Amino acid sequence: MNPDNKNNQVNSKKNTLVKTGIVSVVAGLLGGGIAYAGLSQVNNNDSNNAPQTAVVQPTKSSKSSSNNSQMTNAFNDVKASVVSVINLKRQSARSSSSDEDLFNSLFGDSNSSSSSSSNSKKANLETYSEGSGVIYMKSNGKGYIVTNNHVVSGSDAIQVVLSNGKKVSAKKVGSDAETDLAVLTIDSKYVTQTAQFGSSKNLQPGQQVIAVGSPLGSEYATSVTQGIISAKNRTISVPDENGNATTQATVIQTDAAINPGNSGGPLVNMQGQVIGINSMKLSQSTDGTAVEGMGFAIPSDEVVSIINQLVKNGKIDRPQLGIRVVSVNELTEYGRRKLNLPSSVKSGVYVASVSSNGSAAKGGMKARDIITKIDGKEINDVVSLHTTLYSHKIGQTIQVQVLRNGKTQNLNITLKK
């Protein structure tokens, strides 16, 4: 069982948002070989006994459909920038054999103690997990790669496998567990292509996209799958390794196949622009039913904001309101009735709960409030809430406009971690 799967999968009776990573597989080469040989023998026997027949050959098409051409071009725009990311961890080296230890102890080898001590300190780097990444910038002699935090978390060393198969060392610039993003660097001499970010703001459900990465590891590097955008700003609860929902994330939902190992790879639009970083998939429903075609990617607008801060500071210090929320425009009609939302309220962020010691609680915010503005800026959904909130610093005071029981109120909230 691969460590990435072992650490991140959740019990079957919970909504399982599994962070994807490499899964160890052994191809059934023996079975495949036997089947192929058997089929070849049958074909040979048939050809010896049966009369010759006409052979149908495929006809080459002079042109492909415009849609296929667009997606092929989009893939070509990013394929050389997509890499496999290998998380290496140290494993203690085996000390000398028991027979050698016995010999040393009986005959007083003067080097035995120092040799044993030296061996115990030795360690080999071994592959712990694999994921994907994308080279997005070349600057100051370095190539910059964005990937998922969980792909490189806990690593003792990191390697990157380029699209041409070359394996090179990488260094971690910074990482952020909350958004599940990390930035790595490699020597710029290895960079032959950089991907370009597009804005995720104007994505539309039904829009075609491709996911590029290394499903099942670098053996299948630069694999591409196609799908559509199912939702452009889905708010989900992200569980920790114990299956407890600890944070919320606003993500792009897609049915493009995102398999273990795709983590950290790009979600790309038809113009060849990166509009998301693949991070998670929903593997089963609450009753344990297997789920297919529900993958999630971190929106590019958030990615750009986070990685710029990571390059500059190596970490993210962000203010927190201490609330759990949902976008009003994501609620169903049943949900709106359940929450008694006025029909006139079309957008904003509904506050489901407020932490007692958080910034929001101390500023007077209450559950069932609807956040509509921060410092005069419209808050239409969770994405705009995060974007506006994270543009402020810890210690600053912001004015938050909320709708409470149909009436507008202004709250002054001092931000803290």
Catalytic residue IDs = 150, 180, 263
Nearest-angstrom CA–CA distance, 317 and 304: 16
Burial of 286 (0-12, 13-18, 19+ CB in 10 A): exposed
Beta strands in 44-112 (DSSP E): 82-92
Neighbours of 123 (CB within 10 A): 12
Cα separation, 247 vs 194, in Å, equals: 31
In angstroms, the CA 191 to CA 27 distance is: 32
Q: How many helices (H) and strands (E) does the chain have?
A: 10, 20
Beta-carbon neighbour count of residue 103 at 10 Å?
13
In angstroms, rounded to a whole number, what is the distance separating the alpha carbons of residues 372 and 345? 10
Among 78, 187, 65, 137, CA closest to 311: 137
Query: Measured between alpha carbons, how far is residue 86 from residues 149, 205, 303 in Å?
Result: 12, 33, 21
